Structure 1
Amino acid sequence: MKQDYDTHTRYYHLHHFIILPLAFFLLIWTVVITLEDIVNDWLYLLVGVLFVLISFIARIYANKNQDRIIRLEMRLRYYQLTQLPFTPKENLLSIRQIVALRFASDDELLALIDKAIIKNLKPKEIKKSIHDWQGDFMRV
């Protein structure tokens, strides 16, 4: 499957289409029950909130871990292309910019890094600037 800016967004079906909707349904249901009988049903409300928070925190942890791995991948790629450490450039970029740069081919990566730093490009602008898109089919 070809990947580009328009098709790079990934959905994890179990998380996005089953767990999150069910957690929100449970939260709404518990709010309704709690409002009907405020004194006895606080536990239901807490359980609903807990399910929503657990699903969000699991997603946040997965994304943070992937961001760290992508930063390491970019350090390696930059070093392989330049024989220089990525740290000076990395310190001028946000993690969101680094993640966006990950999709660039080796041929356009160095110029795009400099352009992102000089023009302070937003991640979407970086992605739209990529001509030879390198798909990331393992991102959650």
Structure 2
Amino acid sequence: MKPQSLDHHVRYHPVFHFFGAPLALITIIGSIVNLCSAIKNSDHIWLAVLILVTSLLLVVSFFLTRLYSNKVQDRVIRMEENFRHFTLTGKPLDPQLTMGQIIALRFASDEEFVALSEKAVNEGLSSKEIKQNIKNWRADEYRV
């Protein structure tokens, strides 16, 4: 695995991104095609509607599961970075920092973390700008 950097830090979960998501899309498309065919033939329309509704429920639950796990990771990152800032400065992170900024700051080394977090607040840096300002990249190997 390549070391993380600005150009190589996005993580993909192959089962989710390359198997589950396309399969979910195919399931929805297939159930819509099935419903159209049932309507055209006036045959088992209620069953086709039931299949479509079931497919939609499965897809929604599939994506909500991913969303919820990302939200939990975001909360953990906020807590970790707040603790890191407190350890380095004796003060908590500035509450003006957005979640996106905090997530980007996690890649900064301890040496540049405090100054970069202050710069992010003072200049309103976006997460992309924060990542571009990082000189010593600190890898996050645990986020999925």
Report the TM range for the smaller structure's normalisation. Answer: over 0.9
1:126 corresponds in structure 2 to 130
RMSD: 1.0
2:15 corresponds in structure 1 to 14
Letter in 1 for 2:113: L
- Listed one character per residue, the Cα deviations across residues 45-100 of structure 1 (whole Å, up to 9, x for unaligned) are 112212221121011011000000001101110011111222xx0x1011111001
Q: For structure 2, list consecutive stretches of 5 or more residues without a partner in the other structure.
A: 40-44
Aligned residues: 137
Letter in 2 for 1:48: S
Q: For structure 1, list consecutive stretches of 5 or more residues without a partner in the other structure.
A: none
2: CA distance, partners of 1:49 / 1:120 = 39
Which runs of at least 4 in structure 1 moved beyond 3 Å after TM superposition?
A: none
2: CA distance, partners of 1:69 / 1:20 = 25
Letter in 1 for 2:64: I
Match of 2:77 among 70, 76, 96: 70
1: CA distance, partners of 2:110 / 2:99 = 19
**Identity across the alignment (%):** 42
1: CA distance, partners of 2:13 / 2:61 = 16
Letter in 1 for 2:73: Q
1:107 corresponds in structure 2 to 111
1: CA distance, partners of 2:100 / 2:85 = 17
1: CA distance, partners of 2:92 / 2:127 = 22
1:35 corresponds in structure 2 to 36
Deviation at 1:2, TM superposition (A): 1.1
- 1:95 equivalenced with 2:102 (yes/no): no
1:139 corresponds in structure 2 to 143
Greater Rg, structure 1 or structure 2? Answer: 2
What TM-score, normalized by structure 1, do the two folds share?
0.93
2: CA distance, partners of 1:30 / 1:122 = 41
